[in-house]
Structure 1
Amino acid sequence: MAARAKPTSAPTLRRPEAPFMTGPQAISRQQAGTILDAALSRGGDFADLYFEYRRSAAISMEDGRVRSVGGSVDMGVGIRVVQGQAVGFAYAESLEPQAMLEAAQTAARVASAAGTPAKAIRKRKPGDAYPLESAEVVDVEGKQRVELLRRADRAARAASPKIIRVDASLVAVHKEILVVSSRGDMVYDFQPMCRMSVMAVARDDQRVEQGSSSGGGRMGLEYFERVSPEDHGQEAARVALLNLDSREAPAGTLPVVLAPGDSGILLHEAVGHGLEADFNRKRTSNYTDRIGAPVASELVTVVDDPSLLASRGSINVDDEGVLPREHRLIEDGILRAYLHDRISADWFRTKPTGSGRRQSFRHEPMPRMTNTFMAAGEEDPEDIIKSVKRGVYAKKFSGGQVNISNGDFVFSLTEGYLIEDGKLTAPLKGANLIGNGPEALATVSMVGHDFALSDGMWTCGKDGQSVPVGVGMPTVKLDALTVGGSSVG
């Protein structure tokens, strides 16, 4: 199973609190209450304030040369008023009292009936799923960040003279939020993030292929003690060189073995989105009205857990001020729950799950995943591969597309292998996995004990908003899945 967040004895670092917490623009409970009263002045079921302060830094290197260096600072507040299923939303890019009151009055226009007055505000303290052990990457000097990229570049080029180009980038974010709800909660969180990406290009005669490696999480510089820039450079080169020897993928219906870790993106896209409650509230998900029904093999348990230590998808508090916890969405093949924000929770007459997330203070929250994964089983991964006479081993993905209403999906592999007589043989080129989420999960016949969480590389898009997420998976055998390729399987 994935590592859960635990107290640490290591020293933790914290940056100075955001302007809305200290200094002349600090937001007091009294001022927050005044803004909430303005938001609810025309009625409404509830209102919330989402204050955000963000600093970001990015460096990219192309073929050994630094091509771009950028950074930004952003701050503001999003104000939402909810009446039934109607939402009034406005934001202010300033914490000046008048600007915030005007935004609150704009959001209030959605309401037209007597509402629920704001409760007395109490400060709540969230957990800590991402204690820093060193300086944030966003605060590291530019020269040091460039050297991290150069180390990855050198390692990739040293792998083989066939590596002809290396690109690398490093993005870091320091983010702080303060969420205040008319239901009485005031919660602050600090959310660091870093991500390194490396792409290598290999050439052999007239053939040119590429490989990539990415990773990061809610960590400081200690990330590079766990996964070094050299690791990313070597991995990108390995995949590029491997692809020089790849052959066209077979086409047809075949057994597919999903590798641990990155394969969790298939679960995230093909199944996870359909379990977000807004799609089920609107009755556009193929999981609508199926709570308590079998939706997968009894070997399948799917979990969304925001508390995984330092993971890219982890959050201590959601963007509606709800303290989240682990949720078993599918247990032993039975659908147990959806992921709820406050609106869907009120609709379904249940409690919010802490799944309300948004891209920034300029966006409204909606139900979103955090770290979504399939729980480990009991099988030996080698036995799973040995059980396949002819099939495909899917190791790395470039992403995919899914139809929420019926669960149909298409995923492209960036690293995959042909399985022949229980052994991995030729690397494959141009392989696509095509299927239906519930139908694919119904064919799960073996689940390995080797659960792995993907290194922090995934960003999820939904309705024009992007948020960081984590995915994970043990080795899993699907008895039958359509493989799109160029030769008959």
Structure 2
Amino acid sequence: MTALATTDALFFNLIDRAAAERRLREATEGCEDGELFLEYRESEAIALEDGRIRSASYDATRGFGLRAVSGEAAGYAHAGELTDAAIARAAETVKAVRQGRSGTLDLGPRATNARLYADANPLTAMDFAAKTALLAEIDAFARARDPRVVQVMASITGEWQAVQIIRPDGQRVADLRPLVRMGVSVVVEVDGRRETGTFGTGGRFGYDRILSEAGWKAAVDEALRQALVNLDSVPAPAGEMEVVLGSGWPGILLHEAIGHGLEGDFNRKKTSAFAGLLGQRIAAPGVTVVDDGTIPDRRGSLTVDDEGTPSGRTVMIEDGILTGFIQDRQNARLMGVAPTGNGRRQSHAHIPMPRMTNTVMLGGAHAPEEVIASVKRGLYAVNFGGGQVDITSGKFVFSASEAYLIEDGRIGAPVKGATLIGNGPDALTKVTMVGSDMALDPGIGTCGKNGQGVPVGVGQPTLKMAGLTVGGTAVG
């Protein structure tokens, strides 16, 4: 069964399709854009702590969002009930956005037959008892792995989202989106000192990809490795120094400090640090950054975005030159460019906006060992925890959850409490070596913007950056 047929069965046994399309046309008459977004979502989350199920939840929601776009204004109404009466009320509400203006309806998104992930609902492939038993097995395995393990936390989450987007011209686009994730956290203790290691993985596929015996055992081993590394850590140095970022998940710094500033709405409103710099050098030679929503099975990928536009691969920075922004339909039209398939929303209760998918810095010419060997004294940051960034100024602060000293070109002692402090646009110019080992993150990212969270991916090779400020607890 096609995605369109599946979503027809989910939605049009509750509402009259012809009536909904008529209401949409009436609500968007004289507008440049708009859509009726229909959504069904099932989700579950199970968490185990210290050998017991701490929480277990299941939720199923169905609803719609109706939008009319006129110039820079957008009228939006939504409901968690799918009825003809609710759609009629929503249509009356969004009409007000026109305010006497009259525009011509934009062309709809191009059609696509591409499928980037399977349609199947991952929640139904494994029963609840098997999932809880597996979490208990993970707990027992981790404790047996090392006598220093004193606490284990394990969780699995999954969802299946079915959407259909209807445009005023009658075009209909549907998508079926699986998403799963597993997380393991291990606490070790020696002589009263406790340290934690965490590992997660996931993507747009079924549980079988992450819950195989080899898969969950590898996750436990990685979490335990990180915890034991931190057990031996010394206070991080402070001061300005060369910093090497590891490949993969450290791309989260790129995502936060730079990626948000390359979203179309911030640049149209000129609130981004990159506004007005299109075509100019904003990064060191060799730095190429793309947003790619077309990588199969990845957490941030989408066959079509939440406006029905097929996902794309957008080169935002090429060899250090700013070449483009990621766009939804409204901001693309207002900026006179094509939408890039980045119109995303958290759910039917949220209006779409330009959002990243999988944001990646491409690999360069240097072996990672060569990058490390070039540093006399510095910091090697392998994994990151939390971080903050100011979109307007580009200033960021990120904490490293796994980092090491580099001394005379060799990786030295692990350090604890290291934070990286800098400015996104400035940091791009400080990249002095780009490794050849580009890697994607393990599939755990969630991005927040304007109160909305969406799944994303990041990736990068090993990078050397000159003169970053490191905040720590030891004198540099």
How would you bin the TM-score normalised by the shorter chain? over 0.9
Q: 1:126 to 1:368 in 2, by over 3 A?
A: farther
Measure how far apart 1:83 and its partner are: 1.0
Equivalent position to 1:376, from 332, 339, 363? 363
Q: Superposed, which structure 2 residues align to 1:277-356 within 5 Å?
A: 277-356=264-343
Instruction: Work out whether residues 138 and 173 of structure 1, in 8 Å CA contact, stay in contact via their aligned partners in 2.
Output: no
Separation in structure 2 between the aligned mates of residue 279 and residue 122 of structure 1, nearest angstrom: 23
Instruction: Work out whether residues 148 and 229 of structure 1, in 8 Å CA contact, stay in contact via their aligned partners in 2.
Output: no
Does the alignment pair 1:403 with 2:390? yes
Separation in structure 2 between the aligned mates of residue 301 and residue 152 of structure 1, nearest angstrom: 40
The match for 1:438 is 425
Letter in 2 for 1:480: G
Separation in structure 2 between the aligned mates of residue 117 and residue 51 of structure 1, nearest angstrom: 24
Separation in structure 1 between the aligned mates of residue 110 and residue 134 of structure 2, nearest angstrom: 40
Q: Render the CA deviation track for 1:402-443: whole Å, top value 9, x for unaligned.
A: 111111100001101111111111111000001111211111
Separation in structure 2 between the aligned mates of residue 370 and residue 404 of structure 1, nearest angstrom: 18
Separation in structure 1 between the aligned mates of residue 363 and residue 109 of structure 2, nearest angstrom: 39
Q: Superposed, which structure 2 residues align to 1:208-227 within 5 Å?
A: 208-224=194-210, 225=212
SS of 2:6's equivalent in the other structure is coil
Does the alignment pair 1:24 with 2:13? yes
Instruction: Work out whether residues 210 and 240 of structure 1, in 8 Å CA contact, stay in contact via their aligned partners in 2.
Output: yes
Equivalent position to 2:73, from 86, 95, 98? 86
Q: Superposed, which structure 2 residues align to 1:49-448 within 5 Å?
A: 49-116=36-103, 124-131=111-118, 136-137=122-123, 139-182=125-168, 185-224=171-210, 225=212, 228-448=215-435
SS of 2:238's equivalent in the other structure is strand
Instruction: Work out whether residues 44 and 112 of structure 1, in 8 Å CA contact, stay in contact via their aligned partners in 2.
Output: no
Separation in structure 1 between the aligned mates of residue 106 and residue 417 of structure 2, nearest angstrom: 57
Separation in structure 2 between the aligned mates of residue 87 and residue 125 of structure 1, nearest angstrom: 27
Does the alignment pair 1:488 with 2:475? yes
Instruction: Work out whether residues 90 and 107 of structure 1, in 8 Å CA contact, stay in contact via their aligned partners in 2.
Output: yes
The match for 1:35 is 23
Separation in structure 2 between the aligned mates of residue 21 and residue 436 of structure 1, nearest angstrom: 47
Which stretch shifts more, 303-312 or 118-127? 118-127
Measure how far apart 1:231 and its partner are: 1.4
Letter in 2 for 1:67: R
Q: 1:137 to 1:234 in 2, by over 3 A?
A: farther
Instruction: Work out whether residues 118 and 178 of structure 2, in 8 Å CA contact, stay in contact via their aligned partners in 1.
Output: no
Measure how far apart 1:120 and its partner are: 10
Q: 1:183 to 1:375 in 2, by over 3 A?
A: farther
Measure how far apart 1:122 and its partner are: 9.8
Q: 1:329 to 1:121 in 2, by over 3 A?
A: closer
User: For structure 1, which runs of at least 5 residues remain unmatched after alignment?
Assistant: 1-11
Q: 1:180 to 1:394 in 2, by over 3 A?
A: same
Separation in structure 2 between the aligned mates of residue 252 and residue 121 of structure 1, nearest angstrom: 53
Separation in structure 1 between the aligned mates of residue 4 and residue 146 of structure 2, nearest angstrom: 42
Separation in structure 2 between the aligned mates of residue 94 and residue 113 of structure 1, nearest angstrom: 30
Letter in 2 for 1:284: T
SS of 2:286's equivalent in the other structure is coil
Q: Render the CA deviation track for 1:102-137: whole Å, top value 9, x for unaligned.
A: 1111111221225347689899444211136x8714
SS of 1:106's equivalent in the other structure is helix
Separation in structure 2 between the aligned mates of residue 91 and residue 20 of structure 1, nearest angstrom: 21
Separation in structure 2 between the aligned mates of residue 268 and residue 302 of structure 1, nearest angstrom: 10
Separation in structure 2 between the aligned mates of residue 139 and residue 26 of structure 1, nearest angstrom: 29
Separation in structure 1 between the aligned mates of residue 16 and residue 109 of structure 2, nearest angstrom: 13
Letter in 2 for 1:87: A
Instruction: Work out whether residues 362 and 460 of structure 2, in 8 Å CA contact, stay in contact via their aligned partners in 1.
Output: yes
SS of 1:182's equivalent in the other structure is coil
State the TM-score, normalizing by the size of structure 2.
Answer: 0.95
Separation in structure 1 between the aligned mates of residue 207 and residue 340 of structure 2, nearest angstrom: 31
Q: 1:383 to 1:369 in 2, by over 3 A?
A: same
How many residue pairs match? The answer is 475
Separation in structure 1 between the aligned mates of residue 410 and residue 2 of structure 2, nearest angstrom: 47
SS of 1:330's equivalent in the other structure is strand
Which stretch shifts more, 142-151 or 15-24? 15-24
Q: 1:383 to 1:226 in 2, by over 3 A?
A: farther
Separation in structure 1 between the aligned mates of residue 302 and residue 236 of structure 2, nearest angstrom: 39
Letter in 2 for 1:239: Q
% identity of equivalent residues: 44
Separation in structure 2 between the aligned mates of residue 474 and residue 249 of structure 1, nearest angstrom: 24
SS of 1:487's equivalent in the other structure is coil
Separation in structure 2 between the aligned mates of residue 235 and residue 163 of structure 1, nearest angstrom: 13
SS of 2:207's equivalent in the other structure is coil
Instruction: Work out whether residues 94 and 100 of structure 1, in 8 Å CA contact, stay in contact via their aligned partners in 2.
Output: no
Q: 1:467 to 1:122 in 2, by over 3 A?
A: closer
Measure how far apart 1:276 and its partner are: 0.5
Separation in structure 1 between the aligned mates of residue 16 and residue 320 of structure 2, nearest angstrom: 47
Instruction: Work out whether residues 404 and 412 of structure 2, in 8 Å CA contact, stay in contact via their aligned partners in 1.
Output: yes
Instruction: Work out whether residues 377 and 448 of structure 1, in 8 Å CA contact, stay in contact via their aligned partners in 2.
Output: yes
Q: Output the aligned Cα RMSD.
A: 2.2
User: For structure 2, which runs of at least 5 residues remain unmatched after alignment?
Assistant: none
Measure how far apart 1:32 and its partner are: 4.4
Q: 1:22 to 1:94 in 2, by over 3 A?
A: closer
Q: Render the CA deviation track for 1:435-484: whole Å, top value 9, x for unaligned.
A: 11121111111111111100111100001000000000111111221110
Separation in structure 2 between the aligned mates of residue 384 and residue 185 of structure 1, nearest angstrom: 51
SS of 1:98's equivalent in the other structure is helix
Q: 1:348 to 1:20 in 2, by over 3 A?
A: farther
Separation in structure 2 between the aligned mates of residue 16 and residue 129 of structure 1, nearest angstrom: 18
Separation in structure 2 between the aligned mates of residue 466 and residue 311 of structure 1, nearest angstrom: 17
Separation in structure 2 between the aligned mates of residue 126 and residue 54 of structure 1, nearest angstrom: 23
Instruction: Work out whether residues 435 and 482 of structure 1, in 8 Å CA contact, stay in contact via their aligned partners in 2.
Output: yes
